[in-house]
Chain A
Amino acid sequence: MSLEFRTLQPAQYVRKHIEAGFRPDGRKLSERRPVSISSGHIKSADGSAIVRQGNTTVVCGIKLELSKPATEAPNTGFIVPNVTLPAMCHPSVKSGPPSADAQSLSTFIKEVIESSQLIDPADLCPIPSKAAWVLFIDVICLDHDGNIKDAAVAAVVASLRSLKLPRVEYDSDMEKICVTSDFVELSLRDLVVSSSFAVLDVGSVNLIADPTWEEEERVDSTITLVLFESGDICLTAHSGGLPISQQTLQSAMKLATTQSKEVLKALKLLK
């Protein structure tokens, strides 16, 4: 009986659960799914990570390429983030050019990297005016069960931590750039963790931490908070039609601060 209800009236199914104070998969409203992160297993990529958050699975791979720095910015390198939602990740996703969801996720990752200033631009430019690194950060979602943002941010941070840059030398007599096999780790200024909440108004406004696909589709709004290790805010994103009160935002902040500790612990264990 409940399976028919779930299929025929999914929005009501989710609402009834939230009104009762728990979710279809049995979690409490503020409970996140357990996260597992592993990095460095893809040998063809220069940096890689796989993140599993419940059923949601995301793979990130970083490829390095060399380029001449831009003339107006001779001391900095390039970062090109991209998020792909292939058709395999969920039956609702069609194959073809990147959807609006995928494009907005790519922009989100770019904003997180830019806003957090995780990477020192000078680290990506070993020889000013001559050689700069281009970091192609590709995130692929293998299984979509909601909350790709959090998983993608964790995957990007974990793969950046696993990234090793080869040392570059410049021979000024021959005017030749030599890439040696001496690898140096990329040092990150800080660590960031993303916490997403779905917001559903069932009379009272409820914050639902780490929504699944089923919940994400049927809620009014989503808030994402990206926090530094210190608890400072790196980025806030809010989408959806429901206006949110200051109180809700403060509760989300508190929850995000406590919950990000688990992901930070997992990220630190990688080294």
Chain B
Amino acid sequence: MQASASLSFTRPNRSVKPLIEGPLQGILAPNNPKRLDGRAFENVRELYVQTRIVHESSGSCYLQSANAKVIASVDGPRPNRYAYERGDITCDFRFAPFSAATRRSTRRSGEEREYSSMVTQALLPSLHLDKIPKSSIDVYISVIEADGTIACVASAITAASIALCEAGIEMDGLTVGCSAVRAGGRICVDCTGVEEKNVEGYLLLASMPRLKKVCNIVHVGPWEADDVTHVSVMEGCVGWFGTDTRMTWVFG
């Protein structure tokens, strides 16, 4: 090794993600009878949830759904004299730079702002913010690994709701998020990153399975009028919510 050669610590002007030559991964195709990971089209991934992750926060939650990993942390309620009748809630949704195949910048992007507002909208219906006037709550969501962007926003909604519950914010019920995509005339619930490529449209649904109510729907793309998507996705939410006992185990 020559003594003169030393590493450069300044970022080069241009760098690109390496395209590795090798067998192409299978994409969701209309005539594929099964999904890559062996799930049925209407099945959601297994969920792992753990609370009390961040020690100084009011409430926090780590949620893992197969490869996707999300952490939500709640700070508050803090005094805020501008929030007169109802408490104010803000979500800060961030992707870690290493969370996706292509590295993301550390600067906040428009996409992250959009997802932040999607998560806020999804959480608002269930919270009793009028019980905490003159306060504000901050929800910080950090995506460590994203396997499917829309599925990851859905997981973020669930994680944020669990963290808010641990923080003691009064709510009607836990909000669970679930997503689906439409590709080649087929509906596929809770898609991974590979499955989300080249789709005709996607649906993100946040609901309170306990009360059987829908909190928020984000829908992009054309769908058939008699599609059973909404029902499948709702059932996805219920599947994740499970029984009372599973959720109380998380908090107990």
Interface residues of A (CB under 8 A from B): 42-45, 48, 55, 57, 59, 61-68, 70, 73, 75-82, 84, 86-91, 95, 98, 110, 113-114, 119-122, 124, 132, 134, 136, 138, 140, 142-145, 166, 168, 178-181, 213
- State A62–B21 Cα separation when bound (angstroms): 21
Residue in A57, A91, A134, A144 whose CB lies within 8 Å of B11 = A134
Contact B11 A63 (CB under 8 A): no
Query: Which residue of B6, B15, B98 contacts A76 across the interface (Cβ within 8 Å)?
Result: B6
Minimum CB–CB distance from B50 to chain A (whole Å) comes to 12
**Is B9 a contact partner of A114 (Cβ separation < 8 A)?**
yes
B residues in contact (CB < 8 Å) with A: 1-2, 5-12, 14-22, 53-57, 60, 67, 69, 71, 73, 75, 92, 94, 96-101, 103, 106, 138, 140, 142, 144-147
Q: Is the CB of A48 within 8 A of B98?
A: yes
Is there an interface contact between B103 and A65, defined as CB atoms closer than 8 Å?
yes
Residues of A within 8 A of B71 (CB): 88, 142
Kindly list chain B residues whose C-beta atoms are within 8 Å of the C-beta of A110. 9
Q: Which applies to chain B's interface (DSSP): helix, strand, loop or mixed?
A: loop
Per a CB cutoff under 8 Å, which of A61, A124, A143 touches B98?
A: A61
Expressed in whole angstroms, the Cα–Cα distance for A145 and B18 within the complex equals 37
| CB pair B144 A59 closer than 8 Å | yes
In the complex, which residues of chain A have a beta carbon less than 8 angstroms from the beta carbon of B12? 67-68, 70, 78, 132, 134
Contact yes or no, A87 B138, CB < 8 A: yes
Check A62–B98 contact: CB distance below 8 A: yes
Q: Which B residue sits closest to A55, measured CB to CB?
A: B55
Residue of A nearest to B98 (CB): A61
- Complex contacts, B10 vs chain A, CB 8 Å: 78, 80
**Complex Cα spacing A48 to B14, Å:** 24
